[in-house]
Amino acid sequence: MLRQIHSLPGLVAALLVAVLALTGAVLSVQPALERFAASSVVTGTISVAALAEAAQAQHAEIDKITKTASGSVVVSYFDGDKAGADLADPATGRVIGPHSPSATIRFITNLHRSLLLGTAGRIAAGLGALAMVVLTITGAMMLAARLGGWTALLQPIRGNARQRWHAQAGRLAIVGLLLTALTGCFLSLTSFELIPDGLAEPVATASGGGGARASVGSLAALQAVDLADLRELAFPYAADPTDTYRLTTAAGVTQIDAATGEALSFQPHSTARQLYETIYMLHTGQGLWPLGLLLGLSALAVPVFAITGAMIWWQRRRSLPRIADNRPASAADTIILVGSEGNSTWGFARTLHAALTQAGHKVHAAPMNALARAYPKAARMLILTATYGDGTAPASASGFLARLDRSALKLPVAVLGFGDRSFPQFCRFAEDVAAALAMRGWPALIEIDRIDRQSSQSFALWGDRLGTALGHGLTLAHVAERPKTMALELVKRVDYGAEVQAPTAILTFRLPGAAAGRALWKRLFPASLPPFEAGDLVGILPPGSTVPRYYSLASSAREGILEICVRKQPGGLCSGFLNDLPLGGRIDGFIKANPAFRPNASAAPLILIGAGAGIAPLMGFLRANRSHREAHLYWGGRSPASDFLYRDDLASCIADGRLSALNAVFSRVAEGGYVQDRLAKDAQQLAALLRRGAQIMVCGGRDMAGGVSQALDAILAPMGLSTATLKASGLYLEDVY
């Protein structure tokens, strides 16, 4: 809900708010420029009487003298029929030159206030300010919720680059933007007279005695006022002998007899006017130039929000599968919530949705993260969720358990887990969800079930059980959708490990090669690999299967190649296919980002730990380590003679400083061991690196990862740390399989 409230006005008003913010940022510099251009007003050096006297000496008839909030003194006059305005030196009253406000600034001010569109533009600008209030408040609430509460607002921000930029800009600019937006709303309301600004307050109209006018410099009531207090001094109309001087200061308006210099009346400013002036100052920075600059800087964050916000929205929209005839949550009798990262679970949800709709139900499907506070018409909830990481939630369910904690819902529920039995935590997240629901008293519609490797048969059987519970038949005939893939051609392979029963290959792919006589436009604009970084995953569909297998990438798209490391698994469909693939052979693959497994941007050392084919992403990080960040690699194989993967590449990384230390351990040599043994041996050096804020990245099999985390926990314990605490702060990343 919060997200909808944030993104809807954000998208609609992005351009408008960006125009308001950019013009505001330009205008925000004005008070500071004027402040430094005007000679400083030195309190006590000149009275209003002396200033007026000096001005009068230079012009036949003065209309008024105005002092702007930034300290400039402007004398408006009539010389005969000709009206004009001078800028006067506040210290002496002498003319500095004609007052000529910049046409550009006037244009930008009009653009800011009314978009050059008159009343319609002023309404739009007001709505823009309102949108900005909504966006800043909902944005702050979302950020707080994401970081774990208001007290965690300064915690490091996770996520992809656009999400980090969006949130970081928000953190820096929020106070300035909220102030600008709230004061902008107020000013907009006063401009439409929906709130009084007090500027047109009635002034007491005392008349002067009508005696002969004294020189303005001799008037006692003006001599008593310092220039620092002046806002405006309006001169009496020459043709009316009873007209008075009208002196406006911060306190109010005084009428002064032009002959005697006596103060005839004093009218203090109304509260409305004082409030308006304070808010005007807080919005423009006029009279408070450092605030103006601060607001201007905050406003510069708005285009960053507009661009990154639109990108985040588009990305989210694109990744949300479409479901035909999806009913609103408020009208549905059956709610399907989906936990997915690679979208295949959405395919199952779509099949289930269609079957239930055909059976006469009103069905609403949504990501698990969108668990609502209430479903007024719902009689049941069906949760379909995958499991990721080491038994954790997929992306679209990452906030589900926290939401459930705050929820008072209780509906009959069925949980169906999607996973892969080769992971030790098979369907663990689905189990956690089912347990959490049971603990909160949600009745089970049917017991939890688990689907291995997207089996359509198991899904159909689950449909039978669900149908029985619902009291009508339910046929779930699911045909898995083939992910969109690209063809890749094997251009290089290096084979290792056959002698030590660990056949492993480093496979390098390119987009299919240049065929002779290719069309000219294809030669001019050659196809390029989609963007990916080392550590991202490539999903590969082995022939005859629609279920992808994922491999960590050892290269980035910039290198123009896609490189993986594959260990042949006994009976493995995909690893067997890849290990037998000849040069020139093709695969069907697609990229899946894995932003959670990337080195951080710090300059502190990197500790890379892996075993066997797990070296692939680590090798990619080292190749890309052009800044020569200190990097230590711990890697375990079986025999240096047979499966020392990337031996030459590692040597060249050492030679040019991209790798600081290589610690390779082999298990099938005399006095050999595993990578975790080597970590324990190097405890002191590792402790020193960790004290310097080193980041640890682990890639490889689950058993190895378990051993590594045990060895590291032993090293971390004396420092009062653990792999769990490092994990929480992003300093311990794992990519395990």
Ligand X SMILES: Cc1cc2nc3c(=O)[nH]c(=O)nc-3n(C[C@H](O)[C@H](O)[C@H](O)COP(=O)(O)O)c2cc1C
- Determine if 313 is a binding residue for ligand X (CB under 6 A): no
| Residue 346 C-beta: closest distance to ligand X, Å | 6
- Determine if 551 is a binding residue for ligand X (CB under 6 A): no
- Determine if 427 is a binding residue for ligand X (CB under 6 A): yes
- Determine if 621 is a binding residue for ligand X (CB under 6 A): no
- Closer residue to ligand X, CB minimum distance, 93 or 342: 342
537-541 β-sheet, strand order: 549-552, 537-541, 586-592, 486-496, 504-510, 562-567
DSSP state of 646: T
Pick out residues in 73-132 that bind ligand X (CB under 6 A). Answer: none
CA atoms of 737 and 551, how far apart (whole Å): 10
| Residue 571 C-beta: closest distance to ligand X, Å | 18
- Determine if 391 is a binding residue for ligand X (CB under 6 A): yes
- Determine if 66 is a binding residue for ligand X (CB under 6 A): no
CA atoms of 640 and 669, how far apart (whole Å): 8
**304 within 8 A of 165, measured Cβ to Cβ:** yes
Any bridge partners for residue 700, and if so which? 736
- Closer residue to ligand X, CB minimum distance, 270 or 425: 425
The one among 354, 357, 426, 624 contacting ligand X by CB under 6 A: 426
- Closer residue to ligand X, CB minimum distance, 257 or 735: 735
The one among 243, 341, 431, 449 contacting ligand X by CB under 6 A: 341
Please choose, out of 44-52, 117-125, 425-433, 708-716, the segment that lies near ligand X by the rule CB under 6 A: 425-433
- Hey, how many other C-beta atoms are within 10 angstroms of the C-beta on 708? 26
- Determine if 369 is a binding residue for ligand X (CB under 6 A): no
- Determine if 344 is a binding residue for ligand X (CB under 6 A): yes
Q: Which two structure tokens, joined as six digits, stand for 29?
A: 């510099």
Any bridge partners for residue 449, and if so which? 416
CA atoms of 69 and 31, how far apart (whole Å): 8
- Determine if 264 is a binding residue for ligand X (CB under 6 A): no
CA atoms of 695 and 606, how far apart (whole Å): 5
Exposed (0-12), middle (13-18) or buried (19+): which is 301, by Cβ within 10 Å? buried
Please choose, out of 52-60, 152-160, 400-408, 416-424, the segment that lies near ligand X by the rule CB under 6 A: 416-424
| Helix, strand, coil fractions of the chain, as percent rounded to 5 | 40, 20, 40
| Residue 449 C-beta: closest distance to ligand X, Å | 13
- Determine if 550 is a binding residue for ligand X (CB under 6 A): yes
Q: Which two structure tokens, joined as six digits, stand for 619?
A: 């090798």
Under rule CB under 6 A, how many of the chain's residues touch ligand X? 23
| Residue 451 C-beta: closest distance to ligand X, Å | 7
- Determine if 423 is a binding residue for ligand X (CB under 6 A): yes
Any bridge partners for residue 335, and if so which? 364, 381
- Determine if 454 is a binding residue for ligand X (CB under 6 A): yes
The one among 387, 508, 695, 709 contacting ligand X by CB under 6 A: 387
The one among 68, 110, 407, 425 contacting ligand X by CB under 6 A: 425
DSSP state of 273: H
Q: What are the C-alpha distances in Å from 6 to residues 123, 135, 632?
A: 21, 5, 44
- Which runs of consecutive H residues, i.e. helices, occur in 253-386? 271-284, 289-319, 344-358
Q: Which of 548, 675, 531, 695 is nearest to 615 (CA)?
A: 675
Q: Which of 101, 95, 106, 122 is nearest to 34 (CA)?
A: 101
- Determine if 532 is a binding residue for ligand X (CB under 6 A): no
Please choose, out of 76-84, 281-289, 388-396, 637-645, the segment that lies near ligand X by the rule CB under 6 A: 388-396
The one among 184, 208, 367, 394 contacting ligand X by CB under 6 A: 394
- Determine if 593 is a binding residue for ligand X (CB under 6 A): no
Please choose, out of 426-434, 461-469, 691-699, 718-726, the segment that lies near ligand X by the rule CB under 6 A: 426-434
**438 within 8 A of 444, measured Cβ to Cβ:** yes
Please choose, out of 197-205, 318-326, 420-428, 693-701, the segment that lies near ligand X by the rule CB under 6 A: 420-428
Residues contributing to the site for ligand X (CB under 6 A) = 340-345, 386-391, 394, 418-420, 423, 425-428, 454, 550
